[in-house]
Amino acid sequence: IAAENRSSKLFSFESVSYSSANDDIQLPPGYQWSVVAAWGDSINGASKNIAPDVSDTAADQESQFGMHHDGCAFFPIKVNGSESIKGLWVTNHEYTDDGLLHPSGMEPWTAEKVKKSQAAHGVTVSVIEKSASGDWAVVTDKRSRRITAYSPCAISGPAAGSVYMKTAFDEKGREALGTLNNCANGVTPWGTYLTCEENFNGYFVKTGKPNLQEARVGVNTKGFGYRWHEHDERFNLDKHPNEINRFGWVVEIDPQDPDAQPIKRTALGRFKHEGAVVTIAKNKKVVVYMGDDQKNEYVYKFVSKKTFNSANPIENKKLLDEGTLYVARYDADGQGRWIALEHNRNGLTAANGFPNQAYIVINARLAADFVGATSMDRPEWVAVHPKNKDVYVTLTNNSDRGSQIPLNAANPRASNSMGHIVRWSEANGDSAGTVFKWEIYTLAGDPNSTQAHLRGNVIGDTLGSPDGLWFDRRGILWTQTDISTSTLGKGAYANLPNNAMYASDPASKEFRRFLIGPKGCEITGVDMTPDLKTMFINIQHPGESPSERSDPKNTKVISSWPDKDKFTRPRSATIAIWRKDGKEVGL
C-alpha cells in the first residue's frame, strides 16, 4: 500500500495482514481480545451454561445467550465515577443453525426443538463488567433478560389494531408474540435499544399461491427451512394469514426495565429491516435511517412529528409512533429526494390500492415501488457522521444488477459482487429535510483483480461485501464485511481474507484493516465504551458450513472457534478488544 494511502489523521494502527490458514481473531500489534459471552453462556452468571453436548432444553436456552449474535450496544452503568467499566450489554441473535443447536440436529424434528430454536432467537439484555486485566465478564443483575421469538411484544403506531394485524390469538391486533431475525440495531438518545427484524418471511410457509402482499416479501411454500410451522401453527399462513404482518418491524426495548414489553414501532414501516440509526435533526425531530436488505430494495428514513426533549423522558418514549416515513430516490445528477409514504400523498390513495396508512406501513415496499424509489444493491447498515451528519449506507452486493434489474447511477456495476458504499449530505445539514446530494464513497474490490469490474476504487486495503457500518464519536467509520461462506476465498474473493473489520477516514476515504475473524464467520455489530478504551464486536456464525441448513447435523463445520478442542461446535460470540498500553482503540 502506497505511503500516501496511509495518511489518515484519525487512526495510526498497523494494517492487519492475513494468511488463509487463519482461524482466530487477528488484530494490529499491541491489541488484545477476549470472549465476553458466546451462544449458550448464562445471561446473568447464575443460570446454567451450555452443556458440551448441547443437551440444554428450551427452558435452559431462555436464560442463556442466543445463537448468532448480530447488532449490539453498550449502555454505561456508572461505577466510582466511571462509565466505562460496567454496562448493560444488549445483543441481537439473528437466526439459528438447528444442525448445531440440538444434539441430533434436525432429525427427528420435534416441538421441543422448535421451542428451543425460538428461544435461541431474539435479544439478550445482560450486564457486563471489566476486570483489572482488561477483559470483560457477565455479572448478575436484575435487568438481565432474554427476549425470544415468543416473548409478548406490544404493537404501536399506525398499524396497531388494524384489520391486517388481528389474528386468532390476538383479536385486538395489538400484541405479537416474539421478535425474530434480529439483524442490526440502533440506539435512541433516550436510552432505548432498537432491534430490527430482517428476513421474517423465512419462518412462514403457505401451500397456495401467495397474494400480492405476501409475494412482495418473499412468501413461499418452504420458507428458509426453519420448519417451525410443523409444531407451531402460527407460522402456517394457510391457518393464520395475518401472523406474518406482525413481523418485519423495528422493535424498541428499554434495557433498564426488565418488565417493560418490547414495542413494535409500525410507523417505521415493515420490510426486511437491517438496522435503524437514529440522529436528532436541527429542529430536534428524531430521524431514523433504515436499509431494507434484499436485492433491489430501498433506503428509508422516518422523521418524527414531535421533537426530542432530554428533560421529558416519558414523552420521548412515544416519539417513534408518529411521523413521516420516506423512501429515497438517488437521481443520476447526484441529487436525491425523500418521498413521503403517506396516505393521500404522492398518489398513495385508495383508488390506487392504498386504502389507509396501516396498509402503507405494512406494505411499505409496495408503496415505495409506486412512488418510484431507487432500487439498491442490498442496503445494509446506515451510519451518520457524528459532526457533519453526512449519511453512509453499505450496499453489500447484488448478483442481479445489470441483468434482472437495470443499472442506475447509485448502483453502477453489473453483477455487483464486491458491493459499495454511498454517502450523502442532506441539504443545509438538515437531517429532517427532503433533498440531498449523494456520491459513491467507495466501490469495494480487489485492486489486483484481473477483471476490471472487480477492482473497485478502494483507497487502502482490499474490501468486499461491506455490511456493518458505524461511526464512533471521533468520526472513524468502522466497516465490517459479510462475504458469504460459499464465495469466501474463491473467484472475486480469491485474494481477500476471512471476513474482516476496517477503519475508514471520511476525509481521505482510506480503509485500513483492523481485524480479521476466524473461518466461516461474519463480523457484525460494534460499540465502544465512552472512554473508547474497549471495543465490542460480534463474531457471527464462525465455522459456518458452506452447506449450512441443508446439512441438518452440521457435520461439515469448518472451525470450532472460540473453544477449539474444549467444545466441538463453533459458537457465535461477543468479544472485547483493548490495547495493552490502555490507550484508545483505533488511534
- Residues in touch with ligand FEO (CB under 6 A): 94, 183, 198, 274, 293, 380
Query: CA separation (Å) from 127 to 6, 36, 60, 130, 253?
Result: 38, 11, 19, 11, 15
Considering the complex, state which of residue 198 and residue 548 has its C-beta at the smaller distance from ligand FEO. Answer: 198
Shortest Cβ distance from residue 128 to ligand FEO (Å)? 23
Considering Cα of 289, then 181, then 471, then 407, what sign does the dihedral take?
A: negative
The SS3 assignment for 441 reads strand
x/- site string to Ca ion, residues 341 to 380, per CB under 5 A? ---------------------------------------x
Shortest Cβ distance from residue 66 to ligand FEO (Å)? 14
x/- site string to Ca ion, residues 424 to 463, per CB under 5 A? ----------------------------------------
Grid cell at residue 31: 491489541
Considering the complex, state which of residue 63 and residue 396 has its C-beta at the smaller distance from Ca ion. Answer: 396
Nearest to 164 by CA among 365, 358, 368, 360: 358
Considering the complex, state which of residue 420 and residue 509 has its C-beta at the smaller distance from ligand FEO. Answer: 420
Q: Which of Ca ion, ligand FEO, none does 342 bind, CB closer than 5 to 8 A by kind?
A: none
CA dist., res. 495 & res. 502, Å (int): 16
Considering the complex, state which of residue 292 and residue 467 has its C-beta at the smaller distance from Ca ion. Answer: 467
User: Of the candidates 252, 482, 527, 548, which one interacts with Ca ion according to CB under 5 A?
Assistant: 482
Shortest Cβ distance from residue 325 to ligand FEO (Å)? 20
Considering the complex, state which of residue 99 and residue 336 has its C-beta at the smaller distance from Ca ion. Answer: 99
Contact 525, 185 (CB under 8 A): yes
The SS3 assignment for 122 reads strand
Q: Which residue is closest to Ca ion by CB?
A: 482
Nearest to 53 by CA among 572, 566, 574: 566
| H or E, element range at 272 | none
Grid cell at residue 172: 385486538
Side by side, the strands of the sheet bearing 323-330 are: 277-280, 285-291, 299-307, 323-330, 335-340, 435-443, 420-426, 391-395, 379-384
Shortest Cβ distance from residue 476 to ligand FEO (Å)? 22
CA dist., res. 458 & res. 505, Å (int): 12
* DSSP conformation class of 371: H
Show contacts with Ca ion in window 510-569 (CB under 5 A). 522
Q: Which residues contact 333 (CB under 8 A, 6 or more apart)?
A: none
User: Of the candidates 467, 505, 527, 548, which one interacts with Ca ion according to CB under 5 A?
Assistant: 467
The SS3 assignment for 114 reads helix
Q: Which of ligand FEO, Ca ion, none does 198 bind, CB closer than 5 to 8 A by kind?
A: ligand FEO
Shortest Cβ distance from residue 467 to Ca ion (Å)? 4
Shortest Cβ distance from residue 404 to Ca ion (Å)? 19
Q: Which of ligand FEO, Ca ion, none does 214 bind, CB closer than 5 to 8 A by kind?
A: none
Considering the complex, state which of residue 342 and residue 377 has its C-beta at the smaller distance from Ca ion. Answer: 377
* Binding stretches for Ca ion (CB under 5 A): 380, 467, 482, 522
